[in-house]
A and B are shown apart, each in its own frame.
Chain A
Amino acid sequence: MSGRPPMTLRTGKTLRTGKTLRTGVTRRAARRASLLMGAAALTLLAGAASADTLRIGAQADAGTMDPQAQNIQTTITVLSWIYEPLVTRDENMAKAPMLATAWEQTDDTTWRFTLREGVTFADGAPFTADDVKFTIERSQAPSSQFSGYTAGLTVNVVDDLTVDVVTPKPDPLLPDRLANIPIMDKEWTEANGALTPQDLKSGEESYTALHANGTGPYVLESRAPDSKSVFTLRDDYWGEMADDIETIEFNPIASDPTRIAALLSGELDLVIDVPSQAVARLEASPGIKIEQVDEFRTIFFGFDLANDDPQYVEAEGNPFKKKEVREAISYAVDRDAIVKTVMRGLASKTNQILAPKNNGYLAANDEAPAYDPEKAKELLAEAGYPDGFAFTLDCPNNRYINDEQVCRTLVTMLSRIGLDVTLNAMPRAQYFPKLWERDTSAFMMGFNSPFADGMYALETMLMSRNDDAGEGIYNYNQYANPELDAKIRSARDELDAAKRTALMEEIFSEITDEVLYVPLYNQVLVYAMKDTVTAPVRPDNWLEIRWVTMD
């Protein structure tokens, strides 16, 4: 007995791993009940059962704790446990009150928000209209990645719990936009010298990168970037929670098999970013369940459409500027094979950059050209590149499901039409700043237009770049076409919903016809979790912690 103390330690650690193990522990504990060690094991059993920790595994860490510095879903999701916007979404993705209890349009360009009373930040400071004004203005700074939502807005404080937000033009989507702007405390942020969002492009470190103070249900207990972040439940949270999980552990684990093995072995309770090839195995594993939904995210490839001599292309001129070359690439991609083999059927092929159920989506645009390398070669020859050319493809390796595998497959497929592609795969922490600097000639991207509306995708990925207006901030292909800009603007300013949708459909059709991007597929989003955990999957991959329960 005394010779085997590690056994007790192990029982304590494996308590939360599942029913079979738990009975094993109980049996062992019962056998030793009269002994001191047995008593210790029972204490551990009781202690562990009430500890109530949800351990989440993801492929990469939130890049910062600053809510306006990085517009990547993982970061947005993690920060939504701490910070809250004025408007949120319910189970049906419809707008719902959060820090604002009501909003109404008082004239064409003015929206009045009534704020929730009695809400406090984690440090005890009350939530007021000044915080709303401060946050929205902060999000308009050049280092913000959220200016696309708030560019041009003016905020007028009416009283402590009322604000007017004035849009430069009539904008029916304003409340949707503000659902992406979590509110920070003015005094706290000012006191810690974080008046502008952390600038991730220049590698700036700021107080808000490692500290957080929001109105949400959790506070940041400890943070080790890229290793583990721990969040604990506030006892004075104003809102409702489906459960009262005491602690959340967020564990970035880059390696797919390691992350899945951690779930299977009981070290994690919930895994997001489940690789497609692991789904069959997880479905067959006892004690594990799978939740999946068609994600709003479309995966596509983009190319430098602006420079005459792109940096990472070895060819006469810029081949990507020729429509035939982009068409050739589209014909050379065997979408069916990628969906079947790399994505294991957990994707649907497409030929547009907008996923179904988004406003502006047109089913006809999903019709992708059939795989035809011969036709692709003809098109290349037509464009003046009969022998192909060489270029470097930039690709993330921990951002989208199987991103690097998809890129490798693309390299193989393009080699068949004579394109010599060098793959440059890197972690997202390097990838996105590189794209942001437009330091790329060909890249992979996955885009999820928020609030189920295609306008954000049009504004940020296809308009000419104008950071102050939040336009073209993600047009990594540097496309600039005044005619298209004008069309997008007229759709944006259209107040008649039906006309606006028709205009957007027309624009998305044009993008598909012109092959401004080469779309591949829409992702199916998969979460894997223990039987004891319930975590509804939102199609925008937003893990809403307020809905998660754990037995």
Chain B
Amino acid sequence: MKGASAAAPVRRPRTGPVAALAGAARSDVVRDLLRSPVALLSLLVVVLFMVAAAFPGLVAPHDVRDLSSLDFSDAFRPPAWLEGGSWSLPLGGDDQGRDILSAIIYGLRISLFVSIAAVALSLLIGVALGLLAGFRGGVWDAIIMRVADVQLTFPAMLVAVLFDGVIRAALGQGAHATFAVPVMILAIALAGWVQYARTIRAATMVEARADYVAAARIIGQSSGFILFRHILPNVMTPVFVLATIQLAVAIILEATLSFVGLGLPPTQPSLGTLIRVGNGYLLSGEWWLAIFPGLALLILVLAVNLFGDWLRDALNPRLR
């Protein structure tokens, strides 16, 4: 496997990315992972967060979505180890008497759902446009890549804010709360597709000139078949690495938008919304409202980034 991927000119037609990853998993990658404590730890953290987000009911002490279960006398209760704290609210209570630990877990669920969906969507858009540009070339390439270049000159944050603003104006304030989650996903996805498109386009242009593509043409296979069955599997590996790193970016973007009040409403709190609400009490001494969701965000993004970094090195034969 190592030899195969190191020798770039040797192609592996009809080898899917899953198969490639599975093949790699059997040997190098797993060994690499076991040898790198940082990567192992960050993977562990990411998995832990994902499990907590996927099954919040099993992990969280309270169901914070049920507003009627909140006890207002728990409002601003300090963390358990401080005076006045209680272990039923381990990290303290927020301004509504909501358990902060549970709020973080449910917030994590929304943050991760929005970011993963946004990354998947931008990957879909980016890969499709990248393939088209790289394979068709000419006018298609020119148009798609110029659009991508123009978008690259705007920061992702600006694109997301712009999109959010347009949708908000179109839907009106009331309807916006209902569509907050899909709007956020679209906004973040539209801010991120360019990276994928550029990566895929470059790889596709190289692959399109490869011998196995020429061979496929000679035996009369259609362009679509060649594109999706032969080229796509061979250009996907860098995209998975990119997606991991983009996930961290999406998480931060979602948190930022929610923090400035453009994202999810306070009744549907994501990590960013929790930090925004808690921010109002930083100066009055109730630091736990903002600090713990902030820490959760920090740890999650750091872990995703470290793992993505390691993955990039592990899957990049040139760095071996």
Are B72 and A334 touching (Cβ within 8 A)? yes
A281 contacts the other chain (CB 8 A) = yes
What 0/1 pattern do residues 90 to 113 of B give for CB contact below 8 A with A?
Answer: 000001110000000000000000
Least Cβ distance of B296 to chain A in Å? Answer: 20
Whether A422 lies near B283 (C-beta < 8 A) is no
Which of the segments B2-10, B27-35, B138-146, B274-282 contacts the partner chain?
Answer: B274-282
The answer on a CB contact under 8 Å between B96 and A408 is yes
Instruction: Looking at the assembled complex, report how far the CB atom of A15 sits from the nearest CB atom of chain B, in whole angstroms.
Output: 24
Taking a contact as CB atoms under 8 Å apart, the answer to whether A281 and B76 are in contact is no
Are B283 and A278 interface neighbours, CB within 8 A?
yes
When distances are taken between beta carbons in the complex, the residues of chain A under 8 Å from B284 are: 277-278, 280-281
| B266–A425 touching, CB < 8 Å | yes
B155 at the interface (CB under 8 A from A): no
Known contacts A257-B280, A281-B284, A415-B68; is-contact A424 B174 (Cβ 8 Å): yes
B267 interface contact, C-beta 8 A:
yes
User: Could you tell me the distance between the alpha carbons of A392 and B72 in the complex, rounded to whole angstroms?
Assistant: 22
Q: By the criterion CB–CB under 8 Å, are A337 and B96 in contact?
A: no
Known: A341-B76, A392-B174. A277 touches B267 (CB 8 A): no
A408 CA to B177 CA in the complex, in Å? 14
Cα separation A163 to B68 with both chains bound (whole Å): 61
- Is the pair A277, B68 in contact by a Cβ cutoff of 8 Å? no
B173–A426 touching, CB < 8 Å? yes
Task: Kindly state whether residue B41 has any CB partner on chain A within 8 Å.
Answer: no
B182 to A: closest C-beta gap in Å: 17
Restricting to B283-303, which residues have a CB under 8 Å from any CB of A? 283-286
Residue in B267, B281, B282, B283 whose CB lies within 8 Å of A423? B267
Q: How far is the CB of A28 from chain B (nearest CB, A)?
A: 29
Q: Does A422 lie within 8 Å of B73, measured CB to CB? A: no
Inter-subunit contact A430/B173 (CB<8 Å): yes
- Is residue B70 contacting chain A, with contact meaning CB distance below 8 A? yes
State the interface size on chain A (CB cutoff 8 A): 35
Which of B72, B265, B286 makes the CB contact (< 8 A) with A337? B72
Neighbouring B residues of A408 by C-beta, 8 Å: 95-96, 266-267
Whether the pair B177, A412 counts as a contact (CB closer than 8 A) is: no
Taking the complex as formed, is B67 at the interface, i.e. its CB lies under 8 A from any CB of chain A?
yes
Closest CB-CB distance, A240 to chain B, in whole Å?
38
**A412: B residues at CB distance < 8 A:** 67-68, 70, 72, 96-97
Q: Is the CB of A260 within 8 A of B283?
A: yes
A341 CB contact (under 8 Å) in B75, B261, B280, B282 = B75
Bound-complex Cα distance A424 to B174 (A): 6
**Given A312-B174, A405-B95, A434-B173, 8 further pairs, Cβ under 8 A:** A278-B283, A334-B72, A337-B72, A337-B75, A408-B267, A423-B177, A423-B266, A425-B266
List A residues at the B interface (Cβ < 8 Å). 255-257, 260-261, 264, 275, 277-278, 280-281, 312, 334, 337, 341-342, 392, 397, 404-405, 408-409, 411-413, 415-416, 418, 422-426, 430, 434
**Chain B residues proximal to chain A, CB less than 8 Å:** 66-68, 70, 72-73, 75-76, 95-97, 173-174, 177, 261, 265-267, 279-286
5 pairs of residues in contact across A and B, judged by CB atoms under 8 Å: A281-B285, A337-B73, A405-B280, A416-B68, A423-B266
